[in-house]
Amino acid sequence: MKWTRDFGLTMRMLLTSFLLLIVYLIFLGVLYALGFPFEFLLVVAAGMAFLQYFFSDKLVLWSTGTRIVAEDEYPELHRMIEGLAVRAGLPKPQVGVMPSPVPNAFATGRSPSHAVVAVTDSIMRMLTREELEAVLAHEMAHVKNRDMLTLTMASFLSMLAFLIMRNWFFMSLFGGGNRDNNMGALILVYVVSIVVWLVSTLLTRALSRYREFAADRGSAELTDNPRALISALKKISGRMDYIPAEKKQEVEGANAFFIIPALSGNTLMELFSTHPSLEKRVAALEDLAAGAP
């Protein structure tokens, strides 16, 4: 299989990454110019990024109740994932099943050799074989594109800014030195941290949405059947309207990983969406189905 690139999408991802880099350099420059002792928080943020990168898969599996399943338990699911892994030139990931009435799927893991592709038990009952394969191919595309690594790196200094925001009052109490000067500098750092956190969060979410488009394209190329993914996305999205809000709230913490987020309707996540709209995804897949580059 030839893994092609969407040039326009790639350029948008590169531009977003470049803007993130500029924001982070400005943020670090302001901290340095003010003489702010941010080394400890930098170490803490690095530690958080390390834990997120190396242990996020285990945390996601634990928090969602996903169980790694053997081939004799779900032989058809294993065969589909193994076939897609061969087509994508990847090692076969571990296979997980999540008990939930919310039809969904996700991939996690720090690298192709440490990946997990999981589905909910309800999605296997709802989709046809072709639709389920298209959904699994979307998740395999995430693995091939190393999206976990990309988004962890993109969110690193956003975590640092968030830590400064949360610990600003503590730092103001123990700043030492000239109290007035320190307080003025701390207030400026706090304001800059808010701006950096907001801008970097919006840019990271934009990057996440671009990664979803890329995974949709990868699914279409792995299966040579973009209409199967269109059908699957419409079914999953339509089913969400009938899922009780409390059931969607139970899994909202994993929405960034899901193929379609399970929004309960009373969360700010809709303002900072990690996924493009269904309409835009379907339009992009329709273009692929029509033979557009």
CB atoms inside a 10 Å sphere around CB 4 = 10
Strand pairing class (116-120; 105-108): antiparallel
What integer pLDDT is reported at residue 188 of this predicted model?
75
- Residue positions annotated with a catalytic role: 139
| Residue of 129, 127, 119, 116 whose CA lies nearest to 99 | 119
Strand pairing class (105-108; 67-68): unpaired
What integer pLDDT is reported at residue 164 of this predicted model?
67
Instruction: Please give the Cα distance from 277 to 271 (Å, whole number).
Output: 12
**Sequential DSSP letters for the chain:** ------HHHHHHHHHHHHHHHHHHHHHHHHHHHTT---HHHHHHHHHHHHHHHHHHHHHHHHHHT-EE--TTTSHHHHHHHHHHHHHHT-PPPEEEEE--SS--EEEE-SSGGG-EEEEEHHHHHHS-HHHHHHHHHHHHHHHHTTHHHHHHHHTHHHHHHHHHHHTHHHHHHT--S-HHHHHHHHHHHHHHHHHHHHHHHHHHHHHHHHHHHHHHHHHHHHHT-HHHHHHHHHHHHHHHTTS-HHHHHHHGGGTTTBSS----SSSGGGTT-SS--HHHHHHHHHHHHTT--
| Residue of 181, 110, 168, 177 whose CA lies nearest to 142 | 110
Instruction: Please give the Cα distance from 260 to 106 (Å, whole number).
Output: 9
**CA of residue 114 relative to chain centroid, distance:** 17
What integer pLDDT is reported at residue 178 of this predicted model?
47
- Beta strands across the sheet bearing 105-108: 67-68, 94-98, 116-120, 105-108
CB atoms inside a 10 Å sphere around CB 48 = 17
The pair phi, psi for residue 290, each rounded to 5°, is: -85, -5
What integer pLDDT is reported at residue 58 of this predicted model?
83
The pair phi, psi for residue 89, each rounded to 5°, is: 70, 35
Strand pairing class (94-98; 67-68): antiparallel
Handedness of CA 74, 84, 121, 128 (dihedral sign): negative
Give me Rg for the CA atoms of the chain: 21
What integer pLDDT is reported at residue 136 of this predicted model?
97
What integer pLDDT is reported at residue 91 of this predicted model?
96
What integer pLDDT is reported at residue 179 of this predicted model?
46
Q: What is the pTM of this model?
A: 0.79
Please list the rounded mean pLDDT of every run of 10 residues in the chain (293 residues).
64 77 76 67 68 74 90 96 95 95 90 92 96 96 84 66 62 48 67 79 81 93 95 94 84 79 58 80 92 63
